[in-house]
Amino acid sequence: MLSIDLSGKRALVAGVADDGGFGFAIAKALAEAGASVCIGTWPPALGIFETLLRRGKLDASLRMSDGRKLELERIYPLDAEYDTLEGTPDDVRKQKRYRDRGDFSIQGMADRLRDDFGDGCLDIVVHSLANGPEVTKPLMETTRGGYLAAHGASAYSFVSLAQRLQPLMRDGGAFLGLTYLASQGVVADYGGGMASAKASLETDARMLALELGRRWGHRVNLISAGPFASRAASAIGFIHKMIEYYALNAPLGDALRAEEVGSAAAFLCSPLASGITGTVLFVDKGYHAMAAPADVEGLIDRLRKD
């Protein structure tokens, strides 16, 4: 029987701070397939996440299909806005949630991985990172600082992860990131430069696929997921309307589940996808294929209610 087998492989999932998002679902799916999993967590969220783990509050979410409990091999502090600790502003380093975490930069995480496991210790790197401080602002109201911050945290961080973790990758490694349909079409409330940041991420992934593929044989792919009410997405404010809109108009009308994204990620990171690179895989119930609303009457009724 054909199955996804990641036995003997180690994955690093950057951007896991709770059990409710795609990052956690991907980490769990990779573990289900046999990989050992390390994660990188934003320092301001790390203390709460560690407490929930220690107190068993996440045990139900950590339970896998065979009854085993997902055991995270390492949890590293990671603020992917900073490539090195030296390049981090002093006021950030002195903050309570940062100062006792050591080197929380991307390079710092790479150094800790090398210290813990040696060179040639990684097979899979997942970028589940995005932040736009002005995402709720229309583009016409977005500042230069907010725009560039969205690109740095959401797009360049993928390049920086590749730069600093590639030396740790074994042959045939896989890099994976998460994008969104707003990179290709207008999502009116997805502002602050985040749409163009996702477009940059997709362009960079294609270029990285060439550079990492030709030189080291690594693959680079992205998943474009549909709307999902994670804690981070819910903070944007319109996610539930997006979910309803997709349900009305996508070929598959049921709501997207995080584990569906996790399963797709496990496939793309596995030998079963050895011929796939430079690709954006849509996991959105087919919504991306639609050129016009499927349920015009339902859409009009919803707009009238709003």
Point out the least confidently predicted range of 147-156, 212-221, 295-304: 295-304
Does 306 reside within a domain? Answer: no
Of the candidates 185, 180, 259, the one whose C-alpha atom is nearest the C-alpha of residue 222 is 180
CATH number at residue 48: 3.40.50.720
Q: What share of the chain is helix, strand, coil (3-state, %, to 5)?
A: 45, 15, 40
| Residue 187 CB partners (closer than 8 Å, separation 6+) | 180, 181, 195, 242
Q: DSSP per residue over 163-223, as a string? A: HHHGGGEEEEEEEEEEE-GGGTS--TT-TTTHHHHHHHHHHHHHHHHHHHHHHH--EEEEE
Query: Total structural domains in the chain?
Result: 1
180 is catalytic: yes
| Residue 164 CB partners (closer than 8 Å, separation 6+) | 83, 106, 107, 109, 110
The reported pLDDT for the residue numbered 294 is 73
| pLDDT digit string, tens, across residues 143-154 | 999 999 999 999
Q: Which of 156, 190, 246, 287 is catalytic?
A: 190
pLDDT range class, residue 5, cuts 50, 70, 90: very high
The reported pLDDT for the residue numbered 242 is 82
The reported pLDDT for the residue numbered 169 is 98
Q: Which of 180, 245, 246, 287 is catalytic?
A: 180
| pLDDT digit string, tens, across residues 225-234 | 988 876 665 5
| pLDDT digit string, tens, across residues 152-167 | 999 999 999 999 999 9
Contact indicator for 150, 129 with CB cutoff of 8 Å: no
Does 38 reside within a domain? Answer: yes
Does 56 reside within a domain? Answer: yes
Point out the least confidently predicted range of 17-21, 22-26, 223-227, 237-241: 237-241
Evaluate if residue 298 carries a pLDDT over 80: no
Point out the least confidently predicted range of 50-54, 209-213, 233-237, 262-266: 233-237
Does 4 reside within a domain? Answer: no
Domain residues for 183? 10-237+256-288
Does 268 reside within a domain? Answer: yes
Contact indicator for 190, 196 with CB cutoff of 8 Å: no
Does 162 reside within a domain? Answer: yes
Does 305 reside within a domain? Answer: no
Q: Mean of the pLDDT values across residues 77-106?
A: 96
Which one has a higher pLDDT value, 292 or 302?
Answer: 292
Does 278 reside within a domain? Answer: yes
